[in-house]
Amino acid sequence: MKRIDEYQGKKVLVMGFGISGINAAHLLVKLGAKVTANDKAIPKTNEIVNDLEADGIKVITGDNPISLANEGFDVVVKNPGIPYDNPLVAAFVKQGIPIITEAELGWQIFDGHLVSVTGSNGKTTTTTLTQLMIAENAKHQVKYAGNIGISFSKIAEDLGPDDTLVTELSSFQLLGAPTIHPHIAIITNIFSNHLDYHKTRENYINAKLNITRNQTKDDFLVINWDRDEWQRIAQRSQATIVPFSRLNKSHEGSYVEDGMIYWRGQEVMPTKDIRLIGPQNVENALAAIAAAKLSGVTNEAIKKVLTTFSGVRHRLQYVMEYQGRLFYNDSKSTDIEATEVALQGFDRPVILLAGGLDRGYTFERLVPYLKKHVKAMIVFGECKDKMKDAGNQAGVSVIESENAITAVPEAWKLSEPGDVILLSPANASWDQFPSFEVRGDKFIEAVEELTGKKEQ
């Protein structure tokens, strides 16, 4: 941990009691700040409040009182999910008070080698693969943190100058990380996500590009080269561009040719040996390989990881096989693009479980993939009628169910040996579940109840 004195004696407000917010509050106390912690919700137990107050932190729950804007805070550390049009946040913006996220705080105290990953899809898998690859050859600590569910600042406290940290960073986190400077940055892809938060696609792209804002030619931006738009976006960085591509050969980075993965013209391994299924995971592997090779990792270490790693939970996760049916949990597919790539990963008939929060869009884009890969659909949630319309356009049998749990026995009734039963909702979970993780866990529980087996 790097010692800094910029928070000594400063008044800091931490907004949000998530894991990162709680860790940030305690870290700020160590750094000499006078900390107030605020959460709009009232914690279900007093343990969180008691823990914060025991460290000398003033705690306010149940509201974001606008009066806090008049208490003379020097800095606000905001939970990334709290929008900037929140009245209290907007008041701080109007006053010109710096608003950062916990990722920025983590960067400020980090003293090692930083690799950071962002993108619309594939962030967590790419982050995990990159960390595992670098760790295979490392003589020092190699950890991961960030949007992957582990506090950046908490891990950064325990790492030294020779250690490596691989961080997954969301667009929400990057908006509040003005000085973050990874030596290697990865952009997996950029689609049109979170426009309810960012308002426009350009705002979303700009937030993603904060990952490379402070990079120089001595740093590296590893970026997907499979779309012209992403190639143009890369030109907005000052870093050395390292492309990865499943579709286009580029000797400057990692790519696929005739079923073989190459790094700058040298063979690494066949794509068929990657344990993870689907074209999206080939792309994730290519991104991780580029970062790993830039970090000095051997081909042997890369092969070991890619031939053994079976996936991150809720991200096209293999659950089990039962009576010839394969069950997969892809609850993290909260947009159309993710479900498209999930469907492309299977050469067996698929029974698709899909639906969720209605964000106002329709699903015609899915029709070609439904026609090619899906034998039946079970739809649920707020947007089930729109999902049903897409299924009808594709000529696919569609039935309705209450949710992702009740859909499991319905899918079983429709299935035959050789089929894949796939939860890949193409929508957020918030109409019925608090998170995609809960949705995925409940799906797995329903599969276990149906089969009498535990996930593999």
User: Measured between alpha carbons, how far is residue 140 from residues 5, 67, 105, 156, 444 in Å?
Assistant: 27, 47, 23, 14, 36
Are 27 and 111 contained in the same domain?
no
Query: Is 132 within a domain?
Result: yes
Q: How far is CA 226 from the centre of its chain?
A: 20
End-to-end CA distance of the chain: 38
Are 328 and 222 contained in the same domain?
no
Q: For residue 199, what pLDDT is reported?
A: 84
Query: Strands 220-224 and 184-187, how do they pair?
Result: parallel
Structure tokens at 298: 């051997």
For residue 188, what is the domain's CATH number?
Answer: 3.40.1190.10
Give the count of domains, the chain: 3
Are 361 and 440 contained in the same domain?
yes
Are 358 and 445 contained in the same domain?
yes
What is the rounded CA–CA span in Å between residue 26 and residue 45? 19
Query: Is 355 within a domain?
Result: yes
125 is in an annotated binding site: yes
Are 90 and 151 contained in the same domain?
no
pTM recorded for the entire structure: 0.82
For residue 19, what is the domain's CATH number?
Answer: 3.40.50.720
Domain C-terminal end among 73, 100, 127: 100
Query: Is 191 within a domain?
Result: yes
Query: Is 3 within a domain?
Result: no
Are 75 and 220 contained in the same domain?
no
What is the rounded CA–CA span in Å between residue 333 and residue 342? 8
Query: Strands 142-146 and 266-270, how do they pair?
Result: unpaired
Are 396 and 323 contained in the same domain?
yes
For residue 408, what is the domain's CATH number?
Answer: 3.90.190.20
Strand ranges for 225-316 from DSSP E: 240-245, 254-257, 260-263, 266-270
Are 278 and 343 contained in the same domain?
no
What's the average pLDDT block by block, 10 residues per block, for the chain (456 residues)? 95 95 97 97 86 97 96 97 95 98 98 97 94 96 93 96 97 97 97 81 95 98 97 97 94 95 97 91 97 98 94 88 95 92 91 96 95 97 97 97 98 97 97 96 97 89
Q: For residue 407, what pLDDT is reported?
A: 98
Neighbour tally for 45: CB within 10 Å: 7
Are 44 and 91 contained in the same domain?
yes
Query: Is 136 within a domain?
Result: yes
Is 14 in a helix, a strand, or coil? strand
Cβ partners under 8 Å of residue 2, min gap 6: 108, 109, 110, 111
Are 191 and 81 contained in the same domain?
no
Domain C-terminal end among 66, 100, 134: 100
Query: Is 5 within a domain?
Result: no
121 is in an annotated binding site: yes
124 is in an annotated binding site: yes
Query: Is 456 within a domain?
Result: no
Query: Is 2 within a domain?
Result: no
119 is in an annotated binding site: yes
The owner of tokens 């343990």 is: 47
Structure tokens at 100: 């950062």
Are 129 and 273 contained in the same domain?
yes
Q: What residues make up the domain containing 76?
A: 11-100
Are 123 and 83 contained in the same domain?
no
The DSSP string of 344-359 is HT-SS-EEEEEE----
Domain C-terminal end among 308, 339, 369: 308
Q: For residue 128, what pLDDT is reported?
A: 96
Q: How far is CA 348 from the centre of its chain?
A: 27
Q: For residue 185, what pLDDT is reported?
A: 98
Q: For residue 148, what pLDDT is reported?
A: 86
